[in-house]
Chain A
């Protein structure tokens, strides 16, 4: 019987297999950041162990870093201590680290791909759930806990029980104005935040094939929001084109050998998935979330749901709670929801293509009076590229704030936060209660919808805006 893409990558990394025991899997790339690594390094110190492959390990500072005045010491003592600990640990154990101020610093899931470190068929782990992003290259990439981080540091392997596989096929042409973010919000609304539990999702179909690498990363990134361990897209010409010429891409003869191998990384025609979901791309439209989990999303043209629409009692309570927290009334048009803040950034939508899309909407327009708009590039390289293209000027002329790279308001560990009761349209991935600051209310949207919302002052798509004079 044929094998799925995930099974092929898994099989190629089995170091040891024994009856009744988990497989021991080799890890090709271990990404590290300041929040989940300190205890792992401390554990190594306590047991006198070293990092087996510092050359397959890469650290960057992202979760805690400020996006203003980055040449000054970090003001928050906890953030400063975590960043400091990362620097000391990396120095002690010989792990390369891209610190604040480095040209390669940025969100861990933006840095790996942009350096060409994330390649098809690899196993990639990080102490961070959105490691699933790297699956866009046909890598098996998933988040791990702190003791697993220590395990990988010490052994470059992980004992793991196999995951189940689920095919998510998105077939047909995406209508104009519909982005990767809308696709994944629609998928999560369809299968629910627990629908992917225990699975690796493989995104397939013509709509997925037509997406750029940035779009595929946006989709794989949010696999975790459907409860999945990982998301994957089989590598193709788009993938190879993206990797070619990047700093860590294979060169010359190695390139040909690599591409030959990568080309084998697709699900066999006779392979069987444990579950399958099919979505008709032609029916999709811009999606926004109205509630407090990423599964509570609807087309922008819809209205806020009512608890009486619930399919069962659990759902009814969830809707009630979400409406209460979000301060929304059932039946209100989603387009009538006004926001105070617009955030463009994060490992979901903080890449160059996302900034270009937002800038295209803002060019010649102004951010609405009373709306604060933050544009936070996912990495320093994205930031520099955007400036080279003059996007920073587009943002600042429109009245948005152009910031330094990092996770920023995606999780509000740094000073970029919503005040209690404030409402945002955000291109990030989690709209949990308090995620962007205690009491803050988040609507997840695509970069295009975020930019249009900034201009309109309420949830809107670019098509809703008056043409630029």
Chain B
């Protein structure tokens, strides 16, 4: 995973609350066998509507999603995080995230920045007034900056540390490779292996 210290980009105002994971990515995409390429499934029902905010050309390059409260409720599918990332999002800003979605995001390396709802409103207005507005999410300072707006955001300390170090769960465990080696060296030799016996 790449280190996440500060991210700048344009943002999409998603004026909806209670965006559940079925909306983020419908169940039919769960049959796939790849870990990547879920961008076509992202908000696929809503994207049928040509007026849906993601379909507006000036948001094509956006990397930050600004959404209403209770983002990511519903089924625990990890694909919701994958779809947002595959589409190009590095950050979701909202005033409240569903627990499992926030956990999955932390694991996958998608930053969920929790702000006051007034900040969400202010961002929506600012982005709608100028879609090219550069939004900066500073993980070190725990701060969102956009034009004149400067606001703090909440993020779990452990997740923040991991993102800043660029470590996913596996990366963290691999830091303890010596412990794993030592454990393996002490394992009884009679423990079975799956190597075929003839």
Contact = CB atoms under 8 A, between A and B. Distances in A.
A58 B180 contact: no
Contacts of B187: 26
Interface string A123-162: 0000000000000000000000111001100111101000
B180 A156 contact: yes
A85 B179 CA distance: 33
B33 A38 contact: yes
Chain B CB within 10 A, most for which of A156, A157, A249: A157
Nearest to B192: A248
Contacts of B173: 24, 151, 154-155, 157, 159
Interface in B165-198: 168-170, 172-174, 176, 179-180, 183-184, 187-197
A57 B194 contact: yes
A16 B170 contact: no
Given A24-B179, A154-B174, 4 more contacts: A26-B184, A56-B194, A147-B104, A150-B170
B35 A43 contact: yes
A49 interface: yes
Interface in A357-391: none
B34 A155 contact: no
Contacts of A117: 192, 194
Contacts of B184: 26, 156
A122 B193 CA distance: 12
A155 B33 CA distance: 22
B195 A96 contact: yes
Contacts of A119: 191-192
Interface of A: 15-16, 24, 26, 28-29, 38-40, 42-43, 46-47, 49, 52, 54-58, 78, 81-82, 85, 96, 116-117, 119, 122, 145-147, 150-151, 154-157, 159, 247-250, 254-255, 257-258, 261
A39 B180 contact: no
A155 B197 contact: no
A39 B194 contact: no
Contacts of A250: 190, 192
A58 B194 contact: yes
A39 B34 contact: yes
How many chain B residues sit at the interface, stated as a range, is 20 to 34
A434 to B, nearest CB: 13
Contact of A96 (B169, B179, B180, B194): B194
B70 interface: no
B197 to A, nearest CB: 5
12 contacts: A15-B176, A24-B173, A39-B34, A49-B170, A55-B195, A81-B33, A119-B192, A150-B170, A151-B169, A154-B173, A247-B197, A258-B190
- Would you call the interface of chain B mostly helix, strand, loop, or mixed? loop
B33 A85 contact: yes
B36 A46 contact: yes
A145 B78 contact: yes
A47 B2 CA distance: 11
B191 A47 contact: no
Given A16-B179, A56-B194, A254 B174 contact: no
A159 B170 contact: no
Contacts of A258: 188, 190
A96 B193 CA distance: 11
Nearest to A96: B194
Nearest to A148: B169
B107 interface: yes
Contacts of A52: 180
Contacts of A42: 33-36
Contact of B78 (A15, A56, A147, A159): A147
Choose among B188, B191, B195 the residue with the greatest number of A CB atoms under 10 Å from its CB: B191
Nearest to A249: B192
Contacts of A40: 35
Given A24-B173, A39-B35, A78-B31, A146 B196 contact: no
Interface in B9-33: 31, 33
Contacts of B104: 147
Contacts of B179: 15-16, 24
- Quick one: which of A43, A150, A258 has the most chain B CB within 10 A? A43
A155 B174 contact: yes
Given A47-B170, A147-B169, A155-B173, A28 B35 contact: no
A154 B34 contact: no
A119 B191 CA distance: 9
B25 to A, nearest CB: 13
Contacts of B33: 38-39, 42, 81-82, 85
Can you list the 5 inter-chain pairs with the closest CB atoms, starting with the nearest? A42-B35, A38-B33, A254-B190, A58-B194, A250-B190
B10 to A, nearest CB: 26
A42 B176 CA distance: 23
A157 B193 contact: no
A250 B189 CA distance: 10
A56 B108 CA distance: 26
A40 B33 CA distance: 9
